[in-house]
Amino acid sequence: MQQPAKALTLDGHGVVYYRTVEVPDVVAKQLAEEWNLPLSPTEVRNLYLSLQEEAFAETLPYPDMLHRFCQRIGGPALGKEEYVDSLIERYSAAIELDPDLKSVLQELRRRGVTIGMITNSIHPATSKSEWLKSNGVHELFDVIVSSVDEKCRKPNPEIYRRFGERTSIPLDRTVFVGHDAREVKGAKEAGMITICLRCVCREADYEIRRFGEIVDLPIWPRVKEGI
């Protein structure tokens, strides 16, 4: 019989939180209008996304992404890397939490489960922690692992292993919840228990439609170990 899980790690965007607007869309629209650019908002957005993908792929550091973005736009964008960064940070931080997040995490922490997040992002873990703090839930997270800090990203099994190194909890007693089948598969390859949230993945151990269903799965301790 499998031992109860001792750790839970969550994808960031799409599981822990959502946004009512996509960051590339709103940043591109504001810059195109504010600077009266000859480029359309769609063209600015596509440039942003192409450079962001390089940053996600660890081939372009985030500061270089900002510099190249401003250089390629040219004109009023030259030398405005800090301003562009401030817009990206402002809109990225405008998150909305899953409505069941707080109650589920509080209950699992009561049972002694370590809680964390693994996120593919151009933002470091410290920024993610600040976003959670602004929404009153940062104390519910023990560990945050961001791809920009680790120089690797999901679905590479290495980033899941690094989460395990932070918690010192075996991966076969660690649960990953994701909404992307590729990332769920990566967690499974690393040895984690896997849950698909609103997605389909043959490798997933469980599939759920609502975040609140997590706590009802038969994988958690009933009480905190040692009590």
Task: Specify the CATH superfamily of domain 7-18+96-216.
Answer: HAD superfamily/HAD-like (3.40.50.1000)
> What is residue 222's predicted lDDT score, i.e. its pLDDT?
86
Q: What is the pLDDT of residue 175?
A: 98
pLDDT of res. 1: 52
Residues whose CB is less than 8 angstroms from the CB of residue 74 and which lie 6 or more positions away in sequence, other chains included: none
**pLDDT at res. 57:** 75
Domain ranges of the chain: 7-18+96-216, 23-92
CB atoms within 10 A of CB 150: 18
Calpha distance 163→175 (Å, rounded): 11
Give the pLDDT of residue 226: 58
SS3 203: coil
Q: Which residues 6+ apart lie within 8 Å of 189 measured at CB? A: 155, 157, 203
- Sorted by sequence, the CB contacts under 8 Å of residue 75 that are 6+ apart come out as 35, 37
Give the three-class secondary structure for 27.
Answer: helix
Q: Provide CB contacts within 8 A for 78, sequence distance 6+.
A: 70, 71
- Over the chain (227 residues), the average pLDDT of each successive run of 10 is 90 96 96 94 96 86 96 96 97 96 97 97 95 97 95 95 98 98 97 96 94 96 72
